[in-house]
Amino acid sequence: MAYNPKDYYFRKAKTENYAARSAFKLEEIDQRFKILKPGQKILDLGAAPGSWSQYAAKKIGNLGKVLGIDLQRITVKLPNAVFIQADLRDMRLEEVIIKHGFTPPFDVVMSDMAPKTTGIRVTDQARSLELCELALETANRFLKPRGSFIAKLFHSDDFESFRSKLRQTFEKVEVLRPKSTRKESKEIFLIGISFVEPKKSLTGDLDT
């Protein structure tokens, strides 16, 4: 069947005023694993166009706060969210975060980041893994103990190795392919629950 951009979840997103249908993926993850709670501080990586932040902002309420980061400008306006254009690879990222009124650590670090697809499966999978690794590195820097992590991955032979990495720093790791995922999509979501802060190497850990 030909791809239909105006499918059920597209129309549902329009009806509920979400920036994109991807909000329903986060909704299902949250309903299944109870990630988002009132008063939390959320770091949304690759936040454009803003639908994950919209859903999270609603769940955490007025006492909570969302910081969305993306290379692209985000135009969504939310009373309990701040959006900034920044590169996660910038080693001054903590300064940037603090400058915008946030003090790490965060209760949840979540990433819906995806590469610009080339149509070459192996290339797209490798770039997706790189973004997941970047999201995990960011979580290791800014996630509070017992916090939660969500990341989208294009399923590949590297799936098990990335899940094993998560198991080194989270007490529980779950996997979900939300119902709102398009049938032709290879994306899958990994959820890390109850973060255990990695121990710092005395000699300096240069591994990525």
> Is residue 71 within 8 Å of 85, Cβ to Cβ?
yes
- Alpha-carbon gap, residue 79 to 52, rounded angstroms: 15
Catalytic (active-site) positions? 152
Q: Residues 6 or more apart from 123 whose CB is under 8 A from it? A: none
Read off the pLDDT band of 16 (50, 70, 90). confident
| Arithmetic mean of pLDDT over the chain | 91
* pLDDT value of position 1: 39
pLDDT at 32 > cutoff 50: yes
- Alpha-carbon gap, residue 146 to 191, rounded angstroms: 13
* pLDDT value of position 206: 40
* pLDDT value of position 203: 43
pLDDT at 201 > cutoff 50: no
Which class is domain 21-144? alpha beta
User: Strands, E, within 46-129: which ranges?
Assistant: 65-70, 81-85, 106-111
Q: Which helix (H) or strand (E) holds 134?
A: helix 121-142
Average pLDDT over residues 26-35: 97
Average pLDDT over residues 66-93: 93
pLDDT at 76 > cutoff 90: yes
Q: Delimit the domains of the chain by residue range.
A: 21-144
Structure tokens at 36: 């988002």
37-64 pLDDT per residue, tens: 999 999 999 999 999 999 999 999 999 9
pLDDT at 3 > cutoff 60: no
pLDDT at 207 > cutoff 70: no
